[in-house]
Amino acid sequence: MIPERLLLIVNPTAGAGKSLDYKEHFYAGNVALRDKMRIFGTRQARDYTGIRKAFQESKPDVLVIIGGDGTLNDVLNALGPIQIPIHIIPGGSGNDFYQVLGGESDYRIPNWKRTRIVESDLWECNGRYFHNGVGIGFDGSVALHTQYSRFPFLPLRLKYWAAILRKLFTYRGSNCTIESADYQYNGPAFMISIANGAQYGGGFRVAPNALPADGLLDVVIIRTVSVLQRLLHLTKVTKGQHLGLPFVEHVQLREMTINFPKNITAHMDGEIFEDSEFRFRKKGVLKVLVPEEL
């Protein structure tokens, strides 16, 4: 489809600034659409007011997002379930959702006449929307430690791995309960991954069987594990080979509530938060515009 009104939302800090290069490339490659295009650069994380205002003023029929999973998460939480197609240019440090849909880690100037719509479920946790996944426990603690790393000069991926290695030795899990119409769990949890897509965290295949448009969340529970087991089996998680391990439980659910006795650190599409109760519900469907060959 050829857009009539195009809104381009770019996170200027995503990918250490490479998103700005992608914006210029996109602008230069869409000469015929320049008079139909509005460009909005977010001014800060969770710039909901600015995103909402740009959307209301431009009234687009296609929304282009340049950034990573966090940028898309900001757009979804600013606008809610989006009825128009979105096109994602992966300009962030983590572009897992783009790859979940079959893309490659590069940018593309779409041939608008040769695109198709891929649908993906949109989910809600505690009143906030997410598109790819939520990690509770160890996963959330790693995300928090990465964000506040003592080594800001390191590339993000190295900071992430440094946080993983540190938390493998120090993180302790907590008991929790999971309640849904089809499943109940009451026991220890080192880490719980609630995934719409097969991977997050920059390529970790935490839920290798997850399909983004099946109406289900893949829930992967890693129970209490020793430090030695953590070290021995870490690479299995990166490759998606961990579901058969004796301390791993995997289930697919349409909705659920997870409770802990105290606040637990978590991340939602890489964005950090904490709570003691996590409520999950499906809230709609995203229409993602991709090139025909994907």
Looking at the predicted structure, is the pLDDT value of residue 291 above 90? no
Mean per-residue pLDDT for 26-33? 85
Can you give the pLDDT at residue 191?
95
Can you give the pLDDT at residue 106?
47
Position with higher pLDDT, 132 vs 105: 132
Domains, the chain, in order of start with CATH, read 6-128+286-291 (3.40.50.10330), 130-281 (2.60.200.40)
Number of H helices, E strands in the chain: 7, 14
Looking at the predicted structure, is the pLDDT value of residue 133 above 70? yes
Position with higher pLDDT, 111 vs 185: 185
Instruction: State the pLDDT confidence band at 220, using cuts at 50, 70 and 90.
Output: very high
Token pair belonging to 179: 């309640």
Mean per-residue pLDDT for 23-47? 89
User: Which residues are within 8 A (CB) of 103 and not within 5 positions of it... i.e. 6 or more apart?
Assistant: 88, 90, 95, 290, 294
Can you give the pLDDT at residue 103?
56
Token pair belonging to 15: 């990918």
Taking a C-beta distance cutoff of 8 angstroms, is the pair 94, 200 a contact? yes
pLDDT digit string (tens) for 38-94? 999 999 888 999 999 999 999 999 999 988 888 889 999 999 999 999 988 887 766
Mean per-residue pLDDT for 142-157? 77
Which contiguous run of DSSP H or E holds residue 179? strand 174-179
